[in-house]
Chains A and B, each alone.
Chain A
């Protein structure tokens, strides 16, 4: 048995999803990630799980569906899958993010790829997020293919070392290191919430964007708690402080700074221009059609659902690696998402400013030249980030 893999799985099961004795665990790996899925299964039973469900995804089957299936297959949500999602309520869930073949769908028609969304399943998952009834965790799955994406060669050992660093598995007591780290992010979150800013302003090369904030959506970080009181860390690694903005008040242009693997294609050089909250122009070096298809076929995908702040202390950022996995890359750098807002941030009744969409796509916008300010109600600006360093004492 691979010790490295077991330690990783144990951390994710105990600190990430925090699987409770008697809970069922649902695993959603890619079929290529079966080694990790098996380790997670073993560790979950050790932690007292009553049952572990493993539902493998296969991007090749998805490719065949998009390429050869009828139109109605694209958005079909099978009943059994709905039953499976329903069963996650009250239980634990671990999903893997890394796409074993990020370019697999690149030669397919972008419009069909963009339409291939299981809307009912998405709506159910978003409802669960909103109800906060699942202790869940998203993680990466080291593999030769991921290493090849990150380094151009299948150097799995190097990848494992960087993943272990980002996951604090190099610490003598990883669990204690995580507690300390989560407390640090929590302090930053508290400071931002106390500031009660009206908007966030981004300035940088190709970027000048102002995003309104909502009085009833809090800033959050790291650890969360289900309604039943189970603490969990939804993303590992996590380095961000994030909120859902006012989707009606976005103005200006934002330029993507790191590539984004998405639905089997890679989006590069994305530039979105907003007017009155909506995207009015999409430019990209690659993957532009896919993003446009999202905006055209999914209601409110053309509005923002999340903004997140990350600084240079980030362990992910310190590796200097572009991982080609949003879970990692979004924690290297400031990012934002188009599509659904995050319902678990709500501290009051949402209005039209709180975006609802059957998709949520994060893209990275941070870098040394990005300046982020908080704009207060009276118009004064408070620096939040300069040169990738946190400014708010």
Chain B
């Protein structure tokens, strides 16, 4: 397959299966400037799918670097009026974001405290409301580029990265759309079994890890296939290999150690370790990047509580690729992960439970690996194994 055709097929999959753009919808494409090639293919495919208009808003990490490095304090959290109008306009429409930082450590020379504070607060609130009301059919996908390939392989072998991405995206299948439907059905069956089990908590055990997290009776387990309030099915992340829920943010006890590096806000966090008491993070340690994480926890209210638990096993195509992508979209689908910050409204059929965390950030970090054991803790205290040796243990109901 020639490269142009691969790009169009990839964009088509993101438009048709991911965001599931409906005829007459407007589409908001938000690539980084280095992702222009994919951004353009997404625009073409969105019009092919019947979009009434495609907005392209490029993000530039260097502009952000200058703002954090040289701008006044007030710039850090400023939400421009036009950007609020832009985000509001996404309601009822489709949105596609592209991931894969060309310079994953671009912001590493900046003051971590300022990087952590740099959140457009009012915009974050609008986005949270949109998630809660589920009014946008959106999808995040990766955009292979030289810099990202260099971070992964030590050389800008973007062809190799494309092969990996195509594998994770099931583009190697003769009918990728059918392969995706089958894959999502498998994940949803697993989620259904776990929801039916009704455990009270999850227990994680592994090297450096012994953590119990309470679950909410009202929260389901689900895949990343959601349905908007307007009835449009979409897949919010591609690839996706997880089943996830929103935990009880008031009940987390113990310690958890991150098992993979985390590319966060232009820095790379390594060896992250959290200690929880009464649901709150009381200790943050890291080999690298602890300051940035501490700044986030200090700046954003309730960032020190958990917002997501996600289970991934070794059938994961991302995991099978054997690649550390240095990008959360991919790495969180290689292995089990947890997020601090905002609880995901998608886990609830109605209004989110009051135990679901309210926060303006949501940061996933990876905790899975061959030695991690995950158990469901039942109301009576008995434990049912969920994951051993990265394999799913719970028989279908």
Chain A residues within CB distance 8 Å of chain B: 31-32, 34, 37-38, 41-42, 45-46, 49-56, 58, 60-61, 64-65, 67-70, 72-73, 76, 78-81, 83-84, 86-87
Contact = CB atoms under 8 A, between A and B. Distances in A.
Nearest to A21: B72
A53 B40 CA distance: 22
B130 to A, nearest CB: 15
B5 interface: no
A31 B82 contact: no
Interface stretch (B60-68, B198-206, B313-321, B379-387): B60-68
Given A58-B40, A87-B80, A38 B62 contact: yes
Contacts of B44: 64, 68
B86 A51 contact: no
A69 B63 contact: no
Given A38-B62, A80-B82, A68 B47 contact: yes
Nearest to A66: B47
Contacts of B36: 31-32, 58, 60
A61 B56 contact: yes
Contacts of B55: 78, 80
A79 B85 contact: yes
B153 interface: no
10 contacts: A45-B70, A52-B66, A52-B71, A55-B57, A64-B40, A64-B44, A64-B54, A68-B47, A81-B82, A83-B82
B75 A78 contact: no
B97 interface: no
Given A34-B60, A65-B54, A51 B75 contact: yes
A185 B184 CA distance: 69
B316 to A, nearest CB: 34
B81 interface: yes
A69 B25 CA distance: 12
Contacts of B78: 51
A7 B54 CA distance: 36
Given A54-B60, A65-B47, A80-B86, A45 B54 contact: no
Given A61-B39, A64-B40, A38 B54 contact: no
Given A31-B33, A45-B70, A51-B71, A70 B40 contact: no
A46 B70 contact: yes
Nearest to B26: A78
Contacts of B58: 31, 54, 56, 58
A42 B70 CA distance: 7
A51 to B, nearest CB: 5
Contacts of A56: 33, 57-58, 60
Contact of A58 (B52, B56, B75, B81): B56
> Across chains A and B, which 5 residue pairs bring their CB atoms closest together, nearest first?
A84-B82, A45-B70, A68-B47, A80-B86, A80-B85
A56 B40 CA distance: 13
Contacts of A38: 60, 62-63, 66
B51 interface: yes
Interface of B: 29, 33, 36, 39-40, 43-44, 47-48, 51-58, 60, 62-63, 66-67, 69-72, 74-75, 78, 80-86, 88-89
A140 B51 CA distance: 33
Contacts of A51: 67, 71, 74-75, 78, 80
Contacts of B86: 80
A83 B85 contact: yes
B54 A69 contact: yes
Given A34-B60, A64-B47, A70 B67 contact: no
A32 B36 CA distance: 9
A83 B43 CA distance: 23
B81 A54 contact: no
Contacts of B72: 50
Given A31-B36, A54-B60, A61 B89 contact: no
Given A65-B43, A78-B89, A83-B81, 4 more contacts: A34-B62, A42-B70, A51-B71, A78-B53
A81 B28 CA distance: 13
A325 B20 CA distance: 40
A52 B63 contact: yes
A203 to B, nearest CB: 47
Contact of A52 (B29, B67, B82): B67
A6 to B, nearest CB: 12
A293 to B, nearest CB: 21
A46 B67 CA distance: 10
Of the candidates A42, A67, A68, A70, the one having the most CB atoms from chain B within 10 angstroms of its own CB is: A68
A383 B2 CA distance: 63
A53 B60 CA distance: 11
Nearest to A84: B82
A64 B49 CA distance: 12
Contacts of A83: 81-82, 84-85
A56 B47 CA distance: 20
Given A64-B40, A64-B44, A68-B48, A76 B75 contact: no
A393 B89 CA distance: 58
Contacts of B57: 55-56
Nearest to A54: B63
Nearest to B29: A61
Contacts of A32: 36
Contacts of A79: 85, 89
A52 B68 CA distance: 11
Nearest to A35: B62
A81 to B, nearest CB: 7
Of the candidates A41, A49, A79, the one having the most CB atoms from chain B within 10 angstroms of its own CB is: A41
A103 B71 CA distance: 38
A229 B117 CA distance: 36
Nearest to A73: B53
A126 B52 CA distance: 27
A30 to B, nearest CB: 10
Contacts of A37: 60, 63
A54 B78 CA distance: 14
B98 to A, nearest CB: 13
A216 B263 CA distance: 61
A37 B64 CA distance: 12
A58 B71 CA distance: 27
B101 to A, nearest CB: 15
B40 A69 contact: no
A44 B364 CA distance: 35
A41 B40 contact: no
A32 B53 CA distance: 22
A54 B55 CA distance: 15
A200 B84 CA distance: 49
Contacts of B54: 61, 64-65, 69
A37 B58 CA distance: 12
B94 to A, nearest CB: 15
Nearest to A81: B82
A51 B72 CA distance: 8
